[in-house]
Amino acid sequence: MIFWSRHTFISISKSIGQKSPILFFLVFFGGYFSSWSQVLSTPEQVVLHIGKEGNNPRNSEGSFIRLLDGTILFVYSKFESGADDHASAYLAGRFSSDGGNIWSDRDEVIIENEGGMNVMSASFLRLRDGAIAIFYARKNSVDDCIPFMRISWDEAKTWSDPIKVIPDKEGYFVLNNDRVIQLENGRLMAPVSLHKIKGSDFNMKGRIYCYYSDDNGKSWTSSQEVPNPEGVILQEPGVVLLKNGEVKMWMRTDTGVQYLTQSQNDGRTWEQVQPSGIASPRSPASIKRIPTSDDLLLIWNNNTGSDKERASFRTPLTAAISTDDGKSWSHHKLIEDDPDGFFCYTAIEFVGEQVLLGYMAAERTGLREKIPLVIRKIPLNEFYK
């Protein structure tokens, strides 16, 4: 989620405006004077470009699933009434029957807008029993945003009734797209960030939890809150299973790097958060294990902050490989380098020796009017060059 919604707009505006009035003007009003022309790197790798015509204001936060007949389904948040996080949206789908080269040109409704505001931010997962699970945020109000799960036994043709992933709390929870995993023992893990409870103000400093289920999503239990003794602004957590069976969690922050923590007991408790060596603005990263190896693939905005005026920008979009479970990263690869671009919320899917990436690809100064989405297909070996 972008966190540029109606109830957070004023607080973000004040924060940016205090630091740089010029930056505030460019970010929030520049779109009215911009043509929003996009500059995509290596355009021959782009296999789908959704929303570039601007027919709807925002297309974002997707996830891939491969069906048993080889078809790939990509689901994403399609916004209709506006580009902010509280505008109306449903989950739309596109299909590819040739490994991701050619995609259907019309949206199919995967999950209708069943929320008071929207449904958004999807995660697909092939469960160990063969079913497909979809997770998404159902947003009813600024006090009520809860992740839900549905299951399909007929390859995404129909879905079960929704199941609440967070049964013990009410509030505004963020579960990012393409985030839910299943451990070797069958445990489902959904990392979330709590930003508001009824009667309180929205807090940019999220309280981080990981909800888990040992019965294929029928019931869910909360982990202990991730320890954050220094009060760092933590948001949008993700998790990945390590080679030794432990689980690593990463989070975006406002400190110039991603933060990390680790669990040695399948997500019940977590170590105190620590800064990583992954330079980043307050922007989400994506990490997945490469199925054909034990390596990890990281996609993020490798913005070191050395240019203070651009330190908060979500560009460039970069990939890196870790062969040691995230202790170090190498083989940095530039994916997008438009200095005025806005690239984030990446979904990752491995298709044989190819990698599909689905991510927001917008112009920073036009975010409140037009947010397209790109699917890019890259040979796996290119990430090692």
Q: CATH number, domain at 25?
A: 2.120.10.10
Q: What does DSSP say about strands 188-196 and 181-182: parallel, antiparallel, or unpaired? A: antiparallel
pLDDT of 13 over the 60 cut: no
pLDDT of 347 over the 70 cut: yes
pLDDT of 29 over the 60 cut: no
- The CA distance from 330 to 164, in Å, is 39
Which pLDDT does position 30 carry in this prediction?
A: 40
Which of these ranges, 23-37, 112-126, 167-181, 342-356, has the smallest mean pLDDT? 23-37
Beta sheet of 46-50, edge-to-edge order: 46-50, 373-379, 354-363, 341-351
172 bridge partner residues: 145, 196
Which pLDDT does position 283 carry in this prediction?
A: 96
Per the CB < 8 A criterion, the answer to whether 336 and 315 are in contact is yes
- The CA distance from 340 to 253, in Å, is 21
pLDDT of 311 over the 90 cut: no
Any domain includes 101: yes
Per the CB < 8 A criterion, the answer to whether 272 and 261 are in contact is yes
Q: Which long-range contacts (CB under 8 A, 24 or more apart) does 306-311 make?
A: 309/20, 309/23, 310/339, 311/256, 311/281
Any domain includes 35: yes
Half-sphere exposure of 244 (CA within 13 A, CB side): 9
Angle at 236 between CA 219 and CA 151, to 5 degrees: 35
- The CA distance from 5 to 159, in Å, is 29
Which pLDDT does position 5 carry in this prediction?
A: 39
Any domain includes 227: yes
Any domain includes 1: no
CB neighbours of residue 184 within 10 Å = 9
Any domain includes 98: yes
Q: What is the DSSP letter of 371?
A: B
| Torsion angle defined by CA atoms of residues 197, 203, 207 and 211, in that order, rounded to the nearest 10 degrees | 50
- Which tens digits make up the pLDDT trace of 120-151? 999 999 999 999 999 999 999 999 999 999 99
Which pLDDT does position 9 carry in this prediction?
A: 36
pLDDT of 324 over the 80 cut: yes
What's the whole-number average pLDDT of the chain? 91
Determine if the pTM surpasses 0.85: yes
DSSP 20-58: -HHHHHHHHHGGGG-------SSGGGEEEEETTT-SSSE
**Average pLDDT for 276-282:** 96
Encoded tokens for 157: 């043709």
Which of these ranges, 24-28, 84-88, 253-257, 301-305, has the smallest mean pLDDT? 24-28
Which of these ranges, 8-22, 113-127, 202-216, 251-265, has the smallest mean pLDDT? 8-22
Provide CB contacts within 8 A for 26, sequence distance 6+. 364, 365
**Average pLDDT for 13-38:** 42
Per the CB < 8 A criterion, the answer to whether 27 and 365 are in contact is yes
Which pLDDT does position 307 carry in this prediction?
A: 81
CB neighbours of residue 24 within 10 Å = 18
**151: containing domain:** 6-384
Q: What does DSSP say about strands 286-289 and 274-279: parallel, antiparallel, or unpaired? A: unpaired
Which pLDDT does position 309 carry in this prediction?
A: 84
For 334-347, b where at least 16 C-beta lie within 10 A, e where not — what string?
ebbebebbbbbbbb
Containing 6, the helix (H) or strand (E) segment is helix 6-19
Helices and strands, counts by H and E, the chain: 2, 25
Q: What does DSSP say about strands 330-336 and 341-351: parallel, antiparallel, or unpaired? A: unpaired
Encoded tokens for 307: 């240019």
- Which tens digits make up the pLDDT trace of 227-262? 999 999 999 999 999 999 999 999 999 999 999 999
Per the CB < 8 A criterion, the answer to whether 23 and 12 are in contact is no
Per the CB < 8 A criterion, the answer to whether 361 and 374 are in contact is yes
Any domain includes 153: yes
Angle at 36 between CA 32 and CA 39, to 5 degrees: 160
Any domain includes 174: yes
- The CA distance from 77 to 215, in Å, is 28
Number of domains in the chain: 1
Per the CB < 8 A criterion, the answer to whether 166 and 173 are in contact is yes
Which pLDDT does position 79 carry in this prediction?
A: 98
Per the CB < 8 A criterion, the answer to whether 118 and 79 are in contact is yes
Any domain includes 118: yes
- Which tens digits make up the pLDDT trace of 173-207? 999 999 999 999 999 999 999 999 999 999 999 99
